[in-house]
Amino acid sequence: MGRRGLALAAIAAGLVVVVLAQRLAPLAGPPLYDGVPLVEPYVWLSPPPGQPGGAQPAHDTETDMSGGFGVFTAEQPPQAQILIDPGILDIPDGTTSVTVSVTPVPPPALLPADGAITGNVYDIEATDQNGAPIAIAAGSQVTVVIRGPAGLSSARIEVYAGGQWTAVETDPVGVPDMYTTIVGELGEFALVKPGAGAPAVQPTPSPAATSAASAGTAASGGPVESPAGSRAASPAPGPTTRSSLPASVLSTSSGSGGAPALPWSQIAAVAIGALVVLAAGFVLLRPVKPPAD
Amino acid sequence: MLVSVRAMTAGSIHPMGGAGRRAAAASRAAAASRALATLVLLAAAVTLRWQIFTTQALGGLAEGSLFGLSLLAVAWLGGIRPAAPRAASLAAGAAAGGALVALSLLARWPSQPLALGHVAPFLPWIAVTVLVATAEELVLRGSLWRWTAEAGGDLVALLATSLLFALIHVPVYGWSVVPLDLGVGLVFGGLRLWFGGPAAPAAAHVLADLATWWL
């Protein structure tokens, strides 16, 4: 095969792969290939000292149920968003309108056992004109995107539904601290920094809570309850008052709630390493005649 | 010369003598070492960007500028020098970029794109985006392509640069974009092959990246 034949074959194969990749593996990612991500500071529901507050809900109400939904919070980029393709919701007969909402809420009493919630918890739900919940159709999925506070080196999305937290497959979006997942249920979504060993919510516990904590639920890897002023940890019927803990105590593993310290030593090491490699490259790669173009 | 050609046709004599074979092998080895060195430099630039990205030591514009300038340095060290591109290369690249954007939209329809947001003036964002996209092409479809092709041929260069194109985006975008970027890398590689230089894929890449402002 000649050079031009190979070129045509490569272009044709590439176009086929592009189409297949976006049809068969529609994980939400950058629209195309790259860009320069730009991010506003994170907005908290209950801000830590020195951090901006005012996280706002967002919703979209449609009377034409044949379309899809795309609901984004107002920050740039949005701190929470949900994308629902047409026909994904299991809409009962008699429904005249559907509202999809994304609402920042205080964390539930039961916290993830496998890490620390980082940032706001967002309650994402679909309801009909009477406020009754609408579920996702069996076998269907929606895309959820959550952005966390600055400095997340890694995190995963977990969803709180049915009285428990479930970690879901998570991918970075390409914007700092922004992650996406495709899920088959709605609920309360949060970014969880894994491996923290214990949740970041560690207020001064009440005596009762102290005794509960001493039972070792965290150490055993079981569910961890927020100890004070929280809503019922179990899914049993009862008051649904949310934790009185300010969201400001939900932060990165440092638990300080402020911006994490930059690892300047790592950055310096990488920069020095890059300079060494560049210097070595300068020696190895002599200037040569440029190619065509 | 005539005798040599006839002899080669008959297969009785290797196209090159022993000295010629040794020279060719040495040339390929030198090209391979240059390709490897360029690859190491590229990895260093990507690692530097990744560190800045994860720590947010710099803002998006500064991060992109540093990454783009690092890549330009890698391309320079790899032998790329400024040269006026041919109009045909730019036109074909722009057409290919537009086709990729349209194809991307059609393939995702009716799904809605993510809202990634922009918090920067438009013109600086354009400048940095053009810088990064062009610099990536000057490294991948410029210097790295040249040395890889000299060492292993066009097919090896096509596959290697397409794979690398996908891999350098993994630290920021995750593994999920590998199939898409692999396909795009093949398209860009085809443009590189057809037009003989990095201008056409650079034009396509720039256009596709600029489209993210509106998509």
**pLDDT confidence tier of residue A104, bands split at 50, 70 and 90:** very high
- What is the pLDDT, as a whole number, of residue B189? 97
Q: Per-residue pLDDT for B16 more than 70?
A: no
**pLDDT confidence tier of residue B62, bands split at 50, 70 and 90:** confident
**pLDDT confidence tier of residue A210, bands split at 50, 70 and 90:** very low
Q: Per-residue pLDDT for B210 more than 50?
A: yes
Most confident of A41-45, A127-131, B104-108: A127-131
Using a CB–CB cutoff of 8 Å, tell me whether B175 touches chain A: yes
Do the chains contact at A68 and B111, CB–CB below 8 Å? yes
Domain spans in chain B, listed from the N-terminal domain onward: 2-213
Domain count, chain A: 1
In a domain, A169, yes or no: yes
Pairwise CA distance, residues A80 & A100, whole Å: 13
**pLDDT confidence tier of residue A247, bands split at 50, 70 and 90:** very low
Using a CB–CB cutoff of 8 Å, tell me whether A26 touches chain B: yes
Q: Which of A18, A26, A172 sits opposite B183 (nearest CB)?
A: A18
In a domain, A3, yes or no: no
Per CB-CB distance under 8 Å, the chain A contacts of B198 are: 291, 293
pLDDT tens-digit map of A72-90: 898 877 899 998 888 889 9
In a domain, A1, yes or no: no
pLDDT tens-digit map of A130-172: 999 999 999 898 989 999 987 776 889 999 988 899 999 988 8
B178-195 and A3-24 are packed helices; what angle lies between their axes, rounded to 10 degrees? 160
Using a CB–CB cutoff of 8 Å, tell me whether A176 touches chain B: yes
In a domain, A284, yes or no: no
In a domain, A234, yes or no: yes
- What is the pLDDT, as a whole number, of residue A212? 32
Q: Per-residue pLDDT for A203 more than 50?
A: no
Most confident of A49-53, B56-60, B190-194: B190-194
pTM beyond 0.95, yes or no: no
Residues 43-102 of B with CB under 8 A from A: 44-45, 47-48, 51-57, 59-61, 63-64, 70, 73-74, 77-83, 85-86, 89, 96, 99-101
pLDDT tens-digit map of B30-48: 999 999 999 999 999 999 8
Structure tokens at A7: 């070129």
- What is the pLDDT, as a whole number, of residue A283? 52
Q: Per-residue pLDDT for A22 more than 80?
A: no
Do the chains contact at A31 and B212, CB–CB below 8 Å? yes
**pLDDT confidence tier of residue A207, bands split at 50, 70 and 90:** very low
**pLDDT confidence tier of residue A208, bands split at 50, 70 and 90:** very low
**pLDDT confidence tier of residue A260, bands split at 50, 70 and 90:** very low
User: 3-state SS of chain B: helix, strand, coil percent to 5?
Assistant: 80, 0, 20
Q: Which residues contact B113 (CB under 8 A, 6 or more apart)?
A: A31, B215
Percent of chain A whose pLDDT exceeds 90: 30
Cα atoms in the Cβ-side hemisphere of radius 13 Å centred on A166: 15
DSSP conformation letters of B38-89: HHHHHHHHHHHHHHHHHHT-S-HHHHHHHHHHHHHHHHHHTT----PPPHHH
**Phi, psi at A33, each rounded to 5°:** -120, -35
ipTM for the assembly: 0.86
In a domain, A200, yes or no: yes
What rounded mean pLDDT belongs to chain A? 71
Tell me the residue range of the domain where A77 lies: 15-267
pLDDT tens-digit map of A88-102: 899 999 999 999 999
Per CB-CB distance under 8 Å, the chain A contacts of B183 are: 13-21
